[in-house]
Structure 1
Amino acid sequence: MNINRLEKGILLIESLTFAKNCSCFSEIINILGKLVYSDIIRQIDYLKVENTILRSKLGRRVKISKNEKRRLIKYGKPLKNTLKELISIASYSTFRKWVQALEGFTESNPPVGRPRITTEEIRQLIIQMASNNNWGYTRILGELKKLGIKRFSRNTVRNILIEYGFDPVPKRSKDTWGDFIHRHFETLWACDFFTKKVWTLLGPKTFFILFFINIQTRKVFIAGMTQNPTQEWVINQSKAIAHIFETDKESDIILIRDGDKKFSKEFNESLLKEYDVNVHQIPFRSPNMNPYAEGWVGTVKRECLNHFIVLGVSHLKHIITEFVNYYNTVRPHSSLGNRPIDYQDNNDGDILCDSRLGGVISHYHRE
């Protein structure tokens, strides 16, 4: 005889009601409960072992957000002392501190006095002090005490810096050439020569072009060009454009040059005495220490001079003048965000193309 679901449910309820008073049925329920409970215990034991293995693979303290702490407290607090055998993401004492902090600092019971700086904020402050000042462990500890942070020791500061990859002060405080350039960036200049073969009535001749480049603005200035650049010629040509070193900044003006014999001791002294320019000579065969000047030599040759057979000095002057004007006004520079030196936004007007030197250099602009 077929019985529908409702009829089956009614029969099941009646059967349970009848069996409820039976001691035999109660014993069966107890046995089933123990079986289910023991199975849950085995599952929990497995999860504890798996969690311990996963925690050991992390290798460092797990950072927990405030929301995650609240969730752990919500589900862990009802377990009471049983939680001691389960918790692995932090110690049980740490969990108790979380609970006390949550219960003690509610909206109904706000903290009194100055807010306490958290441990993570202090760690970041220590890293900032070490990065910006090259201070040692003791000096940093002294600065912390000045701020009222007294629960840190010298070894704690040391361990934090080691954790973040900071060497001791003797290794950390070594000044590099890059640091020097960065420190004087706003008033730093560089100079050098580049050459170009020029065809004259007497055959091919090599001309030397002296230039100066401002590291901050990237503007280039041509001091002169000649077949025979003597030390006296270099001094005279430098004096002729010395106005480029005028600045309102109080920092010393630094000029980087290589060890070329055309730059004499008198060259250094004249710039220092008359224009207050400190000349720094880079070591022998170290072009990477004058990267901006070397980079510009590569640019002017690659983008301009290599495309021409120069016929006479006038031709050379015209080519270089056109390229320097293009370089200083409309050519985009990667170091300036791929924009020209004196860039101004202009989103209106038709787009036009301006070509120079027979199309070797060109740029787009709005009318």
Structure 2
Amino acid sequence: MAWLNVLWLVLFLGKVETRQKAVLDFLLGLIQVQRETIRSLNNGRDKRLSDRQRRRLAILARTVPHDFLQDIAALSYSPYIFLRWYKKLVHQKYTPATRRRQGRPTTSTETAALVRRLAEENPSWGYRRIVGARNHLGVSLSKNTVARILADGGLSPVPK
């Protein structure tokens, strides 16, 4: 039974140590940002924080307990500001401008135009023959892609 108490004590101390490390990391980051701000004021720059500094503080503040952030609010910034900066970081990560499209890349318009031209100039060719002709030109397309391009262009994928 004593070993169970020791286990709980170790788990509790590990949790306390993790919180203390998060608080210390945040305070060191805050001090570093304040030093950079003072240096920039001496160089005649603006007092506002850069995006890099906000990002650093937001990431560090995310791991700090909220009650500690409220205690430090009187010193520099409101705890809600740190959380707002973090929300902005997450929002920037998932905006469509930075997110890549999933799936296969689309067929270029030049390729689609060439497939349509080959089908119009050679009405006896089907989509499989067009794939073979494209391979001879050095551009390989699948038969399904050629059939889809022809169907989208209003052409029949099978020969007449």
* TM-score category (smaller protein): 0.3 to 0.5
More strand by share: 1
Bigger Rg over Cα: 1
TM-score by length of 1: 0.20
Higher RCO (CA-CA < 8 Å; seq separation 6+): 2
